[in-house]
Chain A
Amino acid sequence: MARLIRLLVLLLPLSGFAQSVELKLRVVDLDGDAPLAFVSVQLSPGRVAGQTDERGRLTLTAEPGVYTLRASYTGYAPFEQKLQLRDDLEATLRLEASSEQLETIVVTDRADRLALSRPAMGVEQLSARELENVPTVLGERDVLKSLQLLAGVSSAGEASNGVSVRGGTIDQNLLLYDGAPVFTPTHLFGLFTVFTPDAVAGIDLYRGNIPARFGGRIASVLDVRSKTPGSEPTEIRGGIGLISSNLAIETPLDKRRRLGLLVSARGAYNDALFPVIDRLKNTRSRFADATVKLRYRAGERDFFTLSGFYSQDVYQVDLISQVGGVPAVANQYAYLTLNGGLEWLHFFTDDLALNVSAHRANYDPELRFVQEDGGRVNFLSGIDYSIGRATLGYTTGQHQLGGGIQYDRYRLNPGRLDPGGVSGITPLELEQEIGVEAAAYVENEWKISDRLGLSAGLRYVRYQQLGPGELRTYRPDEELRAGTLLDVTPFGQGEEIVTYSGLEPRLGLNFRVTSTTSFKASYARSRQYLQNIYNATTPVPTSRWKVSDPNVGPQTGDLYSLGLTHRTANEKYIFQLETYYRQITDLLEYKPGADFFLNPTVETDLLRGEGRGYGVELTARRSSGRITGELNYTYARIENRVAGDGPTTRINRGAWYPGYFDQPHTFTSNLILNEGRTHELGLNLIVQSNRPYTVPNGFVTVRGVPVPLFLERNNDRLPIYHRLDFSWTIHNIKKQQRRWTGDWVFTVYNLYGRDNAYNVFYQPRDANTPALGIFSGSPFAAYRLSIFGAPVVSLSYKFTFLP
């Protein structure tokens, strides 16, 4: 039962006889008056809702009337009170800390808030609470896997180093963690996300109308934020498991809770167990990640945040093809991410704020060639990425204005071969690549009337490739290859090699047809100057990144979207329909046999083409009652075309062909049955068309070895993918406020053990190939590779200890 909370109300008629009234709230801790950030607040009926900002402040706009005001926040007793709004109002809510985590009131501030009233489209927000309800793999809460339950988001398979948004490739998504980019978001080649689970506060996924403050990728922006420490009492969480162990500490460092610290870490040393299993004797796997955040509230108007993120992996898996060129008995992969950031948030007034930040991201992947005698040849590459950003935000009655400047500088090390003392190997180093992006943007979200809203943004980006480097000039209108190279011009440190620039408009429109139905339209243009190049079904962490240069220009994406959103009168259901069309120019593709390992002239292995994507996304959501959940259906296509002049510069004879993430039909459902007291059951179902793959058109022999003959690309499709996940949570069975309360969580990933195909490949038959009837008289054996072919069960116990 909710406790009585003191509500201090300041009756300040801030406006006249306006059609809507504003409720300005400030939410603080009852004990100490510390502002509480990210508190979920809701007015009902009407489902007007929001979250408090860093200073615990929130402004809600509603029509005059009688409402129930609800607020909920982890670690605090929920608040509920009737309220009559006649005029604009200021109020302070004081919440009392509570050891009970009551589930009776769920404040949904997610897409419902955005769905009807704002022009934003294609935006999904998931809080840490919602992430906890998603069944996971091997007991881990997984950010990327939870996103795959949303319309328009899929993966390349269970071992995929990222996600595909609306058919885009993995590197077309900008993935930020506390403002710094992350280049490899998974551990163990796609099985786990790198973000330390207990540190994640929420995720914003922009896949439609990407705000003008973001740029550099053409498919989506995934903005992941860690928790903000200091405003909550000290909390320690931990876990011990067969795969990984984790520990998180979130605590204020002073009595007034001005300074807060978050430290969360996870480590896995799986390969200690692998030698027990014959098949895994040559498999190595270790990973670790950690998040650190220090937040200081200098006063009522200034907040400083220092953040850091660390992630490291080492693995050796037979299922990853060996890299040629350097002989080795095994290839090992190791990669390190080390990010940091410093941010200053200053409120000039309640409506005018400045945010200045600096971030640094270091990504260092390594490929180790293990020799017969245990020696090691190392291939090192890396990205050093620096960002400086200043953003000004101003809110008036009808406008939310924003503007800012951003400067990105990235230095790529495409590869350095270190012999490591192994004889016969020559040290090699490719020339570094440096790119800078200077951007300025303005954006305005304008509430023209109660029915009509408009968002307009404009981003201008000026990109430069800087020396040291080379400008290689080829014969015009001819294939880029060694034979058409005309000239090589060197550039010194800091000299401009090439410049690309352009405007990127972002437009959105929201029209409320009725109080429960709204229509939206949006357009966004984006450019991508940094891209991942890999001639494979999915990139490995050591896959090469490439800056735009005179021969490899940026990719450009234009996205058009339309949408319809409807909320039922009883506020239980929300329905969304979105349709989109995306055009990509200067799409990157690869020549047959493209190999970027130690290749100083990668442009000779790249092709430029065009892409088009289109789709319809349907969502039905129920957010209250015993059964809550979401159903999504997506029909989406992505097609590429590379129409060169010769057989080496065109693909599929210059016709349109399915893109690598072309999955026409996807159905997902996420259902939660909560009986209200103790038990909560969850089911996730995914049914989708699988990826395209290539069936050979025949075979030839090379040196006596039968080799599949591929005259086309992506001419067939893998069998349909479907999977059912189950979770069962038993909450605090005695439902008493005790020093010790516990939850049991039982999850099953892939409940009925569907053997989903990841790839189909052909290999010449030899003496070791079994004489199976399925191969008949073919010179090839064909195999289907799947990742999880059996249910994965996990059982965990969570308890709360109150000393």
Chain B
Amino acid sequence: MLYARCLALIVFTLLCTGCIEPTEPVFRLEQPFYLVEGELTDQSGQSQLTVRQSNFSDVQLTLDPISDATVLAEEEGAGTRVQWQADPDVPGTYRAPADFAVQPGERWFVNVRFPDGTEAISAAELLPAASRIDDFRVAFEQEGRFVTAQRRFVPVFRLLLDFTDPEGTEDYYEWNYRYWEQEVVCASCDRGVYREGECIPVERFTTNNERYDYLCESSEDGCFRQRGGNQLDLSTDQAFAGGAVQDRPIGEIDFTDFGGILIEAIQYGLTAEAYAYGKVAADIVRGSSGLNATLPAALNGNVRNLDPDGPEVLGNVRVASRTTRRLFFVRDATFGEPPPRDRTIRLEPSNPPFTPPQAPCSGNGRTPIKPDGWPD
């Protein structure tokens, strides 16, 4: 006797898989701590340190800069000491002398003395060897990345690097990038006007527009704004030890506007300890959003309070080699289209003898100095 049973007509509705909704970021706060973070490199003018203190106020956790600390860099075993100066433009940032550069074979650490007498030091690290960058280029993709917050794909320029890994050594890398674009507007005020360096709210607004834009004060080269990759991209050389690597992605820059762009690829050579620290941070930041999110981990850096019973001091100061390569190109319609947005510049109306002021080309990464590699 034959039985036949058939299952048919399955209808589905509203399958919502992987919904991500914003929620309030909360913290379970511990005791206040000092945070020391930075690097010493083999490139002049690129070594810097930030010194901050945690502050919990008004239901917010912030890291407040400390500008009156004493920062000394010392070469282990040689007795060489170099005092770093606070950067007046960037509170909490300390820079080595312009000609300071770590040399191959040297081991350095830093000593930080805080205003309250707390003294912290970092573990000494040996400068790793630098790896050569063979080539740097970009690849455009109109639907490059899905942005959850915008619920759409956005066009991106993928940054691709070719380099050669040294043979016979265990190497640790970090990649980053920064880029410059020309700025035309250096200040914008919503329902206000720009006076004396700040936006003043005005109640009466004669137009329907809610914003006034103010052009940059600039040199004849114009005004440039630098932005960084602000990423944590690290790797060991396990998968490509001693070989030439091609098309290694080191980042993405969203295609937001037309015009020239200068991009600098930065390749760091790290110690094993610095790599381990950065890897934990990268996993926390990059790997937390998936179904298989990385377990939260404590960041055990190499900075410690000389007094174990004193205030908590966290952070990591590394010694790293630094190799860079720059690339300039003009973003135009041959690549594709940036996402639509309001690109209209709304200037405050002139009313002779009044002319709207210009905003200085400074702050927020702006500089009137044309970066090296930007064509004339």
Question: Could you tell me which A residues sit within 8 Å of B by CB distance?
Answer: 75, 97, 99, 138-139, 159, 189-190, 233-243, 246, 278-279, 281-282, 317-322, 324-327, 329, 371-373, 377, 417, 423-426, 428, 482, 534-540, 590-595, 598, 647-648, 694-705, 707-713, 715-716, 755, 758-764, 766-770, 772, 774-778, 780-803
Q: Which residues of the other chain, B, contact A762 by a CB distance below 8 angstroms? A: 25, 288
Check A538–B291 contact: CB distance below 8 A.
yes
**Nearest Cβ distance between residue B149 and chain A, in whole angstroms?**
5
Q: Would you give the 0/1 interface string for B1-32, flagging 1 where the beta carbon is closer than 8 Å to chain A?
A: 11111111111111111111111111111100
Can you list 11 pairs linking A and B with CB atoms under 8 Å apart? A237-B6, A425-B239, A426-B243, A705-B281, A775-B22, A783-B23, A784-B23, A788-B15, A792-B12, A795-B9, A802-B2
**Nearest Cβ distance between residue B64 and chain A, in whole angstroms?**
12
Q: Which residues of the other chain, A, contact B299 by a CB distance below 8 angstroms? A: 592, 700, 702, 707, 709-710
Which of A239, A428, A782, A785 neighbours the largest number of chain B CB atoms within 10 Å of its CB?
A785
CA distance in complex: A318, B289 (Å): 10
CA distance in complex: A695, B153 (Å): 30
Contacts A239-B6, A785-B18 given: A282-B12 contact, CB under 8 Å?
A: no
CA distance in complex: A410, B108 (Å): 49
Question: Could you tell me which B residues sit within 8 Å of A by CB distance?
Answer: 1-30, 33, 35, 37, 50, 54, 59-63, 139, 143, 146-154, 158, 160, 174, 176, 228, 230-232, 234-236, 238-249, 254, 272, 276-300, 314-316
Contacts A702-B316, A798-B6 given: A321-B289 contact, CB under 8 Å?
A: yes
Check A780–B7 contact: CB distance below 8 A.
no
Q: Which residues of the other chain, B, contact A802 by a CB distance below 8 angstroms? A: 1-3
Instruction: Give the 3 A-B CB pairs with smallest separation, nearest first.
Output: A239-B7, A592-B297, A321-B290
Q: Which residues of the other chain, A, contact B50 by a CB distance below 8 angstroms? A: 701
Contacts A595-B279, A698-B54 given: A715-B241 contact, CB under 8 Å?
A: no
Contacts A324-B235, A772-B22 given: A799-B6 contact, CB under 8 Å?
A: yes
Which of A235, A321, A428, A776 neighbours the largest number of chain B CB atoms within 10 Å of its CB?
A321
Set B13, B15, B151, B234: member contacting A324, Cβ < 8 A: B234
Check B21–A783 contact: CB distance below 8 A.
yes
Check A99–B240 contact: CB distance below 8 A.
no
CA distance in complex: A764, B229 (Å): 13
Which of B29, B63, B288 neighbours the largest number of chain A CB atoms within 10 Å of its CB?
B288
Contacts A320-B292, A698-B54, A796-B10 given: A704-B5 contact, CB under 8 Å?
A: no
Check A781–B29 contact: CB distance below 8 A.
no
Q: Which residues of the other chain, A, contact B35 by a CB distance below 8 angstroms? A: 700-701
Check B285–A763 contact: CB distance below 8 A.
yes
CA distance in complex: A799, B248 (Å): 57
Contacts A708-B284, A796-B9 given: A99-B1 contact, CB under 8 Å?
A: yes
**Nearest Cβ distance between residue A380 and chain B, in whole angstroms?**
14
Q: Which residues of the other chain, B, contact A377 by a CB distance below 8 angstroms? A: 239
Contacts A537-B295, A700-B37, A701-B63 given: A278-B153 contact, CB under 8 Å?
A: yes
Check A711–B298 contact: CB distance below 8 A.
yes
Check B60–A777 contact: CB distance below 8 A.
yes
Q: Which residues of the other chain, A, contact B290 by a CB distance below 8 angstroms? A: 319-321
Contacts A425-B240, A702-B278, A777-B60 given: A755-B298 contact, CB under 8 Å?
A: no
CA distance in complex: A792, B315 (Å): 47
Check A697–B22 contact: CB distance below 8 A.
no
**Nearest Cβ distance between residue B38 and chain A, in whole angstroms?**
10
Q: Which residues of the other chain, B, contact A699 by a CB distance below 8 angstroms? A: 27, 61, 63
Check B10–A794 contact: CB distance below 8 A.
yes
**Nearest Cβ distance between residue A311 and chain B, in whole angstroms?**
20
Which of B15, B25, B33, B150 neighbours the largest number of chain A CB atoms within 10 Å of its CB?
B25
